[in-house]
Amino acid sequence: MTAPVPPAGEERRRDRDRTRADILDTAAAEFAERGFDGARVDEIAARTRTTKRMIYYYFGGKKQLYMEVLERAYARIRAAEQTVSVGHLDPLTAIRRIAEVTFDHHEANPDFVRLVSTENIHNAEHVAEMTGLVRVNTPAILLLDEILARGREQGIFRDDIDAIDVHMLISGFCFFRVANRHTFRAIFGRDLVDPARREHYRKMLGDLVVDHLTALG
Amino acid sequence: MTAPVPPAGEERRRDRDRTRADILDTAAAEFAERGFDGARVDEIAARTRTTKRMIYYYFGGKKQLYMEVLERAYARIRAAEQTVSVGHLDPLTAIRRIAEVTFDHHEANPDFVRLVSTENIHNAEHVAEMTGLVRVNTPAILLLDEILARGREQGIFRDDIDAIDVHMLISGFCFFRVANRHTFRAIFGRDLVDPARREHYRKMLGDLVVDHLTALG
Amino acid sequence: MTAPVPPAGEERRRDRDRTRADILDTAAAEFAERGFDGARVDEIAARTRTTKRMIYYYFGGKKQLYMEVLERAYARIRAAEQTVSVGHLDPLTAIRRIAEVTFDHHEANPDFVRLVSTENIHNAEHVAEMTGLVRVNTPAILLLDEILARGREQGIFRDDIDAIDVHMLISGFCFFRVANRHTFRAIFGRDLVDPARREHYRKMLGDLVVDHLTALG
Amino acid sequence: MTAPVPPAGEERRRDRDRTRADILDTAAAEFAERGFDGARVDEIAARTRTTKRMIYYYFGGKKQLYMEVLERAYARIRAAEQTVSVGHLDPLTAIRRIAEVTFDHHEANPDFVRLVSTENIHNAEHVAEMTGLVRVNTPAILLLDEILARGREQGIFRDDIDAIDVHMLISGFCFFRVANRHTFRAIFGRDLVDPARREHYRKMLGDLVVDHLTALG
DNA sequence: AATGAATGAGGCTTCATTCAT
DNA sequence: CATGAATGAAGCCTCATTCAT
């Protein structure tokens, strides 16, 4: 009875979503590559399957496009964090695991790092407008909080460092290594992202955090 | 009534230097505030005692002006580092002192931090062209190197971390705290540069470095 | 529970008419508010129960929509004029009555005034295409003509002023008061449409016409 | 001793002024022809000796250009009015003279009329921003005021009509005749600006004002 | 009869830079 | 040594309209 009529609506929606995603991917690359002001809407359009007009049709403008790119980038890093389950690990191992995941994600997503750098040059004015980012990011803190609490209960962690401090320490290390890679290399002659040194820095970060947390304070 | 005959050559040179310095100061603020692409030559000129034409006259263009700004910013931070004399201090105290000086300089010079962020968005292409920067920056590494060597001799420092790693660790911490202040605050609700938390982070950095260097590795 | 079977044809037609009327009302407001070039098809659609696509479906385009709006506006003002019956009045009273009706209609329909202003900026090119407008407007002149004739017969009206001149005089007064209200107020500080001055101007117009028509010429 | 050096500065200024005037003239024509929203910056530029860029250099933007056009148009009509000296004329003749001057100026400057129509479509928002227009326009009222006062003293003018009312009456007549010329012609078949009818309307206006002012009220 | 998605053409504006003296 | 005037190229965005079902 029900003829296999092409599900026009759905197919269109899929097209629409694909086009949007295409634009978002391209825009993410362009914004990461050149920053907000350096990025060109024409260039994004040219690297896309569609036309410049579609950017305005789907996103409204350069700024809104940038904001969706940024929001998606944050969502992804937090999603990656959520995949690690550390509930069953002892505090030391758990904290090391989190450091490693963060390290890996920054390394794998230099564009995310560059977007965040760009956003800070703009004083986080766009992020400030994104209600929802707080919600998306708090799980990361809650997780650390729980691990730190367990560590303190066991008497192995100092107690003058809170979850946000640990997050800053880990993120700062990972972020700087990727974000400042270029000036660092130009000035000190060392490529912080050289694969040959990857394990060294990955371990260094874990040690660093553990050494500090387990020190006497 | 009788005006003193102007000692033409010298006074002109002084004028020239003053104008250049005026432009450089203004440009530093503008580039730090908005990044390279966001900065406007017109805006720099407007905030200056002179005219836009002079920027081209003295510097050649936006890019060259930016490069001089950047070069001066690096020279200043390294000069600050050179003022500390740690030769007479024991390795632990010396390394703590260096961390503090770096911490203080980043805090006091957020514009430097923003310029370096901007430069990294541009893949350090300008810094790469600045041949003198390596020379200006190596003393910082040499100093650390000497301290680390002393510490290792005394058997109190681990030996799998070199001077550049320590520099990265210290700079990364100080840099992130200032550079990512805005997104961090928007997302986690904590102002990393809040004066009330200044001592906490300053001590945290020192502990961090020392805890790690003195751990067993 | 049992929905009444829709009398398809008629109901559809009614739907159609309602949608058309909805669009026309909204478009009238938008064109009056912003002029032809300032009006936005998107905006009209947004203020409507239907979608932009329907505007093209029912009217063909912006220009045709504008023309229907204009035609309807003219039809309405002339219809209002037809409601007054002055055949039984003496010429003086009749002419005063017509002046008042015109005055009232302009005051009550500033949108009509603005549409006509807009149309004149376009050199009445649309009105010129509207073949029916002449027919719809001649009764107004014929009416005046008849009154003037009676007045002249009675020896109370001068004879160097014809019906079209009187119409121009009355319309001009009423039109200017509404159309140029804004510049007049900005420049001379007087709101010509202030309710407190309404009777003054309404009487002034009647006097004006009568004084002139009954003068010796 | 003083060589006839070309007065560079002055010459340049003259060039500048000529270019500005060229743009203003062209813009006045374009804005009058098509209204604010219908006018095209590109079109103005094309009809000019210079380029589109110069419009932004000299005026800042479309809106500012429009405002300067409008301001100049008002200044000109008031300047024309100031050229008539009516102090020595008896009130009746004086008021007739003013009506004629106004009539002539509207006829000679249809662009002024169209600009004012356009401005009213925009609710006089630009005129409202022009401080100074009030000052430029009040002399016209003061002049009328003085004539009306003299007429009343002599017992020949009614006293329920003030200077602003008279100005409205005269302007309204002149303005409508030019502004609504096109719709009027399309609908009633009469060209109000036909030279053959010029004297008729010019006299009609004078009579109208005088008949009304000298009526018993 | 009705509609959501798409779009080519053109709009206004801004930028770093150079010209001409 | 210094400068006011000028500008080509490119930027972001909006418009009325049509496509494809």
Domain segments of chain A: what residues?
67-214
Was domain C8-214 assigned CATH 1.10.357.10?
yes
Q: Show which subunits contact B, needing at least 3 CB pairs below 8 angstroms.
A: A
pLDDT interval class at A1 (50, 70, 90): very low
CA–C1' gap, B122 and E20, in angstroms: 36
Q: Which residues contact C203 (CB under 8 A, 6 or more apart)?
A: none
Which residue's structure tokens are 């649309």? C126
**Per CA to C1' distance, which residue is closest to F1?**
B12
Angle at CA of residue D82, ends D79 and D86, nearest 5°: 160
Asked if C165 has any chain D CB less than 8 Å from its own CB, the reply is yes
pLDDT interval class at D125 (50, 70, 90): very high
C134/D189 CB distance under 8 A: yes
pTM: 0.89
Asked if C58 has any chain D CB less than 8 Å from its own CB, the reply is no
How does pLDDT run along chain C (217 residues), one tens digit per residue?
A: 444 444 556 666 677 788 899 999 999 999 999 999 999 999 999 999 999 999 999 999 999 999 999 999 998 888 877 788 888 899 999 999 999 999 999 999 999 999 999 999 999 999 999 888 888 788 889 999 999 999 999 999 999 999 999 999 999 999 999 999 999 999 999 999 999 999 999 999 999 999 999 997 6
Structure tokens at B93: 């105290």
Residue in A with minimal Cα distance to B190: A164
pLDDT value, residue C97? 95
**Per CA to C1' distance, which residue is closest to E3?**
C53
Q: Show which subunits contact D, needing at least 3 CB pairs below 8 angstroms.
A: C
> Does residue A167 have a pLDDT over 60?
yes
How far apart (Å, rounded) are the C-alpha atoms in residues B45 and B32? 15
pLDDT value, residue D17? 83
A34/B181 CB distance under 8 A: no
pLDDT interval class at B13 (50, 70, 90): low
Distance in Å, alpha carbon of C128 to nearest chain D alpha carbon: 5
Residue A168 has its nearest CB partner, among B34, B123, B184, at: B184
Structure tokens at C216: 């010796």
Per the model's pLDDT, the better-predicted residue between B131 and B58 turns out to be: B58
Asked if A169 has any chain B CB less than 8 Å from its own CB, the reply is yes
CA–C1' gap, B61 and E17, in angstroms: 8
C121/D34 CB distance under 8 A: yes
Asked if C171 has any chain D CB less than 8 Å from its own CB, the reply is yes
Residue in B with minimal Cα distance to A31: B121
pLDDT value, residue D9? 56
Interface test with D, best of C121, C123, C197, C200 (most D CBs within 10 A): C121
pLDDT interval class at D3 (50, 70, 90): very low
Q: Which residues contact C193 (CB under 8 A, 6 or more apart)?
A: C107, C177, C178, C181
DSSP states of chain A as a string? Answer: -------HHHHHHHHHHHHHHHHHHHHHHHHHHHHHHH--HHHHHHTSSS-HHHHHHHHSSHHHHHHHHHHHHHHHHHHHHHH---TTS-HHHHHHHHHHHHHHHHHH-HHHHHHHHHHHHTTTHHHHH-TTHHHHHHHHHHHHHHHHHHHHHTT-S-SS--HHHHHHHHHHHHHHHHHTHHHHHHHHS--TT-HHHHHHHHHHHHHHHHHHHHS--
**Per CA to C1' distance, which residue is closest to E21?**
D8
The 10s digit of each residue's pLDDT in D183-212 is 999 999 999 999 999 999 999 999 999 999
**CA nearest neighbour of D143 among D104, D77, D91, D215:** D91
Cα-based torsion angle of the residue sequence A169, A171, A172, A175 in order, rounded to the nearest 10 degrees: 160
How far apart (Å, rounded) are the C-alpha atoms in residues D33 and C113? 19
Residue A179 has its nearest CB partner, among B120, B200, B207, at: B120
% of chain B with per-residue pLDDT over 90: 77
- For residue B207, the chain A residues in CB contact (below 8 A) are 212, 215, 217
- For residue D106, the chain C residues in CB contact (below 8 A) are none
pLDDT interval class at D18 (50, 70, 90): confident
Asked if A177 has any chain B CB less than 8 Å from its own CB, the reply is yes
Contact C170, C98 (CB under 8 A): yes
Q: Which homologous superfamily does the CATH classification assign to the domain defined by A67-214?
A: Tetracycline Repressor, domain 2 (1.10.357.10)
pLDDT interval class at D2 (50, 70, 90): very low
Q: Do chains C and A touch (3 or more CB pairs under 8 A)?
A: no
Distance in Å, alpha carbon of C142 to nearest chain D alpha carbon: 11
**Per CA to C1' distance, which residue is closest to F17?**
C61
- In this complex, how many residue pairs, one in chain A and one in chain B, have their CB atoms less than 8 Å apart? 157
Interface test with A, best of B113, B121, B136 (most A CBs within 10 A): B121
- Chain E: nucleotides below 7 Å from protein CB are 1-19, 21
Residues 41-70 of A with CB under 7 A from strand E: 50-54, 57-58
Structure tokens at D201: 């309307």
> Does residue A145 have a pLDDT over 70?
yes
Distance in Å, alpha carbon of C2 to nearest chain D alpha carbon: 53
Residue C133 has its nearest CB partner, among D74, D118, D186, at: D186
Give mean pLDDT, residues D106-123: 97
How far apart (Å, rounded) are the C-alpha atoms in residues A148 and A156? 10
Give the CATH number of domain B8-60; options: 3.40.50.2300, 1.10.3720.10, 3.30.565.10, 1.10.10.60. Answer: 1.10.10.60
Residue in C with minimal Cα distance to D115: C121
Residues 64-83 of B with CB under 7 A from strand E: none
D215/C207 CB distance under 8 A: yes
Per the model's pLDDT, the better-predicted residue between C15 and D116 turns out to be: D116
Residue C168 has its nearest CB partner, among D116, D121, D192, at: D192
Measure Cα distances from A212 to A160, A207, B213, B215, C161 in Å. 11, 8, 10, 9, 103
Contact C65, C89 (CB under 8 A): no
pLDDT value, residue B10? 64
> Does residue B138 have a pLDDT over 70?
yes
Give residues 79 to 108 of A whose Cβ lies within 8 Å of B.
none
Structure tokens at C37: 């070039």
Structure tokens at D160: 């329920």
- In angstroms, how far is CA D154 from the centroid of its own chain? 32
Asked if D190 has any chain C CB less than 8 Å from its own CB, the reply is yes
- In angstroms, how far is CA A154 from the centroid of its own chain? 32
The 10s digit of each residue's pLDDT in D141-185 is 999 999 999 999 999 999 999 999 999 999 999 999 999 999 999
Nearest nt (C1') to B51 (CA)? Answer: F3
> Does residue D4 have a pLDDT over 70?
no
Nearest nt (C1') to B57 (CA)? Answer: F2
- For residue B192, the chain A residues in CB contact (below 8 A) are 168
Interface test with B, best of A175, A176, A190 (most B CBs within 10 A): A176
Give residues 115 to 154 of A whose Cβ lies within 8 Å of B.
116-121, 123-124, 127-128, 133-134, 137, 141
The 10s digit of each residue's pLDDT in A2-48 is 333 444 556 666 678 888 999 999 999 999 999 999 999 999 999 99
Residue C183 has its nearest CB partner, among D120, D177, D187, at: D120
The 10s digit of each residue's pLDDT in B19-54 is 899 999 999 999 999 999 999 999 999 999 999 999
> What would be the CATH architecture of the domain defined by D7-60?
Orthogonal Bundle (1.10)
pLDDT value, residue D1? 39
A121/B117 CB distance under 8 A: yes
How far apart (Å, rounded) are the C-alpha atoms in residues D187 and D203? 24
In eight-state DSSP terms, residue B39 is -
Give mean pLDDT, residues B136-160: 93
pLDDT value, residue B84? 81
Buried b (16+ CB within 10 A) or exposed e, B26-36: bbbbbbbebbb
In eight-state DSSP terms, residue D154 is T
Asked if A35 has any chain B CB less than 8 Å from its own CB, the reply is yes
pLDDT value, residue C44? 96
Angle at CA of residue B90, ends B84 and B96, nearest 5°: 55
Asked if D56 has any chain C CB less than 8 Å from its own CB, the reply is no
Residue A161 has its nearest CB partner, among B133, B137, B204, at: B204
Give mean pLDDT, residues B67-84: 88
Domain covering B71-214 in this structure, CATH number: 1.10.357.10
A116/B183 CB distance under 8 A: yes
**What is the fold of D69-214?**
Tetracycline Repressor; domain 2 (1.10.357)
Contact C102, C174 (CB under 8 A): yes
